[in-house]
């Protein structure tokens, strides 16, 4: 059966293709200014995604919806989001040593020491900063890893994204449409002492694990905590943010797995510990949290 692709999807795919082809050929500062301009245009139109980001940031910061402070923070958030896209178009052409040099990392020893001890690592990240750049840094310091990617539409865009990430040194598994054995593959990688990186602050499906996050209930993916519980891998929450023109990564210590309890109870405890770290990191860098979707259960529309 052929894939049904909307005109909008085709335009987005064409835009990404042009971005990866043209942006690296142009000077960095002018193209960065163009992306900031586009971010401001999108912010000024106050579309659905911008309003959702503002609502999410209001919960994170306690600022009043509609206040000048919150609107300015939301504009900074959109600039951060568009900076991510500008940078991913340039990343394939950047020198790997420059990426490593310009990445300022707190807690890198948690990855290095764990891998050196022969244990696998599960790095769990919220959608912040430039997670693809963080992946390029991780590969650049000697830790190629496996991740899972959402299957974008159209298929051509998904293939380009996979090729982009594989070009940075990642192994990419499709979230859907693959062999159906993603968890088994990830478990195999960490049992052999490898590294897995997974986005981990949003999964509103039935398989998500309920946690408290900024005072309300949401769901996070079960995969990262379940890998730690079942394989003995170290779950290390990591917060990624922009630091001036460079990048920052804060890799936190391992979230311990309780010695007692059922598997489900252990997963719930580890998931909450992971989320608590995310909460602190997002509160410190709210403008770099790219959450333009509904997140908390009480914000969902009744079905």
Q: Which residues are catalytic?
A: 127, 201
Q: Which tokens is 157 given?
A: 């865009």
How far is it, in rounded angstroms, from Cα 200 to Cα 124? 6
Q: Where are the alpha helices (DSSP H) in the chain?
A: 7-22, 28-45, 48-61, 68-90, 96-101, 108-116, 131-140, 155-167, 182-191, 223-231, 263-284
Other residues' Cβ atoms within 10 Å of the Cβ of residue 106: 13
Structure tokens at 179: 């062999």
Taking the C-alpha atoms of residue 247 and residue 80, their distance in angstroms, rounded to an integer, is 12
51 CB-near residues (< 8 Å, 6+ apart): none
Whether the CB-CB separation of 122 and 200 falls below 8 Å is answered with no
Q: Are 224 and 235 in contact (CB under 8 A)?
A: yes
Q: How far apart are CA 121 and CA 86, in angstroms?
A: 29
Structure tokens at 39: 């971010």
* CA 263 to chain CA mean position, Å: 26
174: closest CA among 158, 190, 187, 194?
Answer: 158
Q: Whole-angstrom Cα distance, residue 188 to residue 65?
A: 46
- The answer to whether residues 123 and 236 touch, using CB atoms and an 8 Å cutoff, is yes
């Amino acid at each position: 059966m052929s894939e049904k692709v909307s005109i909008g999807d085709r335009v987005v795919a064409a835009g990404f293709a042009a971005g990866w082809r043209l942006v690296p050929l142009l000077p960095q500062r002018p193209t960065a200014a163009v992306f900031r301009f586009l971010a401001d245009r999108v912010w000024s139109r106050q579309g659905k995604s911008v309003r959702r980001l503002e609502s999410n940031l209001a919960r994170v910061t306690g600022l009043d919806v509609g206040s000048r402070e919150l609107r300015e923070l939301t504009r900074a958030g959109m600039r951060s989001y568009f900076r991510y896209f500008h940078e991913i178009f340039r990343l394939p052409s950047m020198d790997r040593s420059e990426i490593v040099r310009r990445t300022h990392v707190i807690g890198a020893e948690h990855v290095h020491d764990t891998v050196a001890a022969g244990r696998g690592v599960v790095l769990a990240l919220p959608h912040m900063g430039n997670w693809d750049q963080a992946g390029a840094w991780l590969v650049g310091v000697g830790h190629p890893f496996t991740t899972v990617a959402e299957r974008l539409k159209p298929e051509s865009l998904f293939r380009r994204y996979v090729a982009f990430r594989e070009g940075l040194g990642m192994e990419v598994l499709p979230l859907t449409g693959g062999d159906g054995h993603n968890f088994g593959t990830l478990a195999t990688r960490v049992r052999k002492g490898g590294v897995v990186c997974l986005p981990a602050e949003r999964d509103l499906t039935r398989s998500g694990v309920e946690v408290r996050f900024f005072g309300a209930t949401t769901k996070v993916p079960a995969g990262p905590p379940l890998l730690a519980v079942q394989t003995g891998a170290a779950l290390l929450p990591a917060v990624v943010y922009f630091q001036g023109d460079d990048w920052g990564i804060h890799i936190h210590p391992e979230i311990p797995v309780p010695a007692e309890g059922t598997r489900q109870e252990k997963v719930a405890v580890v998931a909450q510990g992971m989320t608590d770290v995310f909460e602190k990191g997002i509160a410190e860098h709210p403008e770099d949290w790219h959450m333009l979707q509904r997140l908390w259960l009480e914000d969902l529309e009744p079905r």
